[in-house]
Chain A
Amino acid sequence: MPAEMKRSYYEDVQPLKGGPARVWFAMLFILLIAAPFLVKSYYIYVMSLMAVNVIVALGMNLLVGNTGQISLGHAGFVAIGAYTSVMLISGAGVFFPLALLAGGLLAAIFGFILGIPALRLEGPYLAIATLGFGIAVTITIGRIDLFGGHMGLIVPKPEFAGIDFSGDRSLYYLVTGIALLMGFAMRNILKSRLGRAFHAVRDSEIAASTLGVNVASYKTLSFAISAFYAGIAGGLWAFVLGFINPGLFSFILSILFLATVVVGGLGTILGSVLGAVVITFLNLQAESIQFLPLIGDALVWISRSFMSMSGLPNVSWILTGLILIFIVIFEPLGLYGIWIRIKIYWRTWPF
């Protein structure tokens, strides 16, 4: 496993360990800043979506990977965040960052409420309770005219301090900046007393409670923090998309969030980031799989002879499903596990 030795507590909590880490981080930072000037406008949009999904994945991973709870209802939290911030801005003219924060906080309150019955539930029962919550939120939003019904809402332009954030690039910087900030916050949560308590609850509830960890309050807290991340991401997602409707926040979305975390690697921040980037990219690009050089031609041929041409975009579902299955079967640690193995291989290279 991670081949890093820590000699003191302060070494453990230090953000960037050693020279190489700092250099790599600086390069990543420069790349993130330069990226919008290097690619086409569509890919700026893709990168903004990735950043949004990174935020959801961070929250999801805290709940699933670090606290050991299962949620199939995160789309509900994202929906709450999105609708709250959009309606506060267009309805009440609230200051943009404040509306975003309000969306996150409302989602957190709902997460707290959902976390209370979750205390007594385990495994599949928890999955179905959260699933029910997610679907109930989507249906309720779709049926009430105040929320725009099935047609949804048009998202107002995000602007504050005299800066208009509706352009591709400025929105990208905003979303990525918030994602970085929230990633850093998550790292600090995990390294602190809170994070260790979450891990203790995940590994053994009984052992944790005998050590004086209040299992109930940490479980609900985990739900609330996770929902807060989802709510903030929801608000940002709305601004990236430019419109919202209840169909966006379906059960499939909740599954994809869970898939993101599992593909990336449970319980690690790097895993959340990797998973979100890969799943977002696959989701957007798999529909144009038929334009790939060799595979595309083969797929078109298969569609013509055995399947149907109009159903070809459905291949992306098959692809995502197979990736999920194979990750679980062959690499339970996800992409993070692959990364760690590469790292260990080079560190101990000649041997």
Chain B
Amino acid sequence: MISQIIISGLAVGSVYALMALAMSITYKASEIPNFAQGEMAMISTYIAYVLLVVQGISFIWAFLFSLLFALVLGMALEFVFIRRAKEPNLLNLMIITLGFQMVLYGIAGWKWGADQKRLSMPFSESETYDLGGGIVVSQLGLATIGTAVVLMLIIWLFLRFTRLGLAMKASQQNAMAARINGIRTNRILSVSFGISSVVGAIAGMMVAPVTTLDPNMMWDPLLKGFAAAVLGGLTSLGGVVVGGYLLGIIENLFGFYISLEFKSVVAFLIIVIVLYVRPSGLFGHHYVRKV
């Protein structure tokens, strides 16, 4: 029984891990917690819905087009709003992302209304595979876990071996030195927002078939992804992924053994407790500010 719960925890955890990863990419680049992440993913998922269901394009093209849209949306957030902030301190930038989130939420509600749509995916939730020992996993769950793992691998390879990835890493570590070496750091920042928006959009498309497609659908994944990112330590990409899976599993175990009703509270209680013991998360670096 417990391994069954862990498997379904992994499927939920994949979504949290992807959202946390998206959060962490922008956080590392700019030190902003991007609250618009969820709504950006939601809008991108709606674009996929429009292409797939309304226009009737094949799944793979709809998927790719919506990812392209997510990339542009993320870069636009940085280029149009964040770069223009007069006093770019944490509070002001956070407020910009909150404002952007409200705008996107309003647009989605205005265009598509609050009625729930169905995003049809080639993976179904009702079809299940038996992994032996009575453990079953749905096709969708398997696809979610698989996509998340592949995506994380791609991101790791990208940051490690491509010029752009290295430039991103360099400007995260020391923006001034990166600029001296000829890296256009503000373009890199824009690209970071774009990439994190793409990662979020993929998470959104994984969520949409499980719940339904409506403007509120990314609230829960966003907050949980946020919690997972803080749990793992926002600055470590590996850490936030571990945080996401850990959160998914703990939540499911708590829901089964202790109380289903308070399942969604447990994430935030864990956060407060973990932060109390380790103020920068499980795997984050504890930084000391100098005078």
Contact = CB atoms under 8 A, between A and B. Distances in A.
Contacts of B90: 70, 123-124
Measured as residues with beta carbon below 8 angstroms from the partner, the interface class of chain B is 35 or more
- Counting chain A CB atoms within 10 Å of each CB, the highest count among B27, B102, B227 belongs to B102
A325 B227 contact: no
A317 B91 contact: no
Interface stretch (B4-12, B48-56, B106-114, B131-139): B106-114
A64 B84 CA distance: 22
A131 B102 CA distance: 17
Instruction: Identify whether the interface residues of A are mostly helix, strand, loop, or mixed.
Output: helix
Interface stretch (A20-28, A53-61, A162-170, A304-312): A304-312
A325 B265 contact: no
Interface in A214-243: none
B254 interface: no
A191 interface: no
Measured as residues with beta carbon below 8 angstroms from the partner, the interface class of chain A is 35 or more
Given A64-B91, A308-B111, A325 B103 contact: yes
Contacts of A132: 227, 267-269, 271-272
B165 interface: no
B234 A124 contact: yes
B230 A318 contact: no
A129 B280 CA distance: 12
Contacts of A140: 262, 265
B268 A136 contact: yes
A143 interface: yes
A206 B87 CA distance: 22
Contact of B261 (A143, A206, A323): A143
Nearest to A126: B275
Interface in B25-69: 27, 31-33
Given A255-B98, A315-B106, 4 more contacts: A70-B94, A136-B269, A308-B110, A314-B107
11 contacts: A124-B94, A125-B275, A132-B227, A132-B272, A135-B264, A139-B265, A207-B291, A314-B108, A317-B106, A318-B107, A321-B99
Interface of B: 27, 31-33, 81, 84-87, 90-92, 94-96, 98-114, 219, 223, 226-227, 230, 234, 261-262, 264-265, 267-269, 271-272, 275-276, 279-281, 289, 291
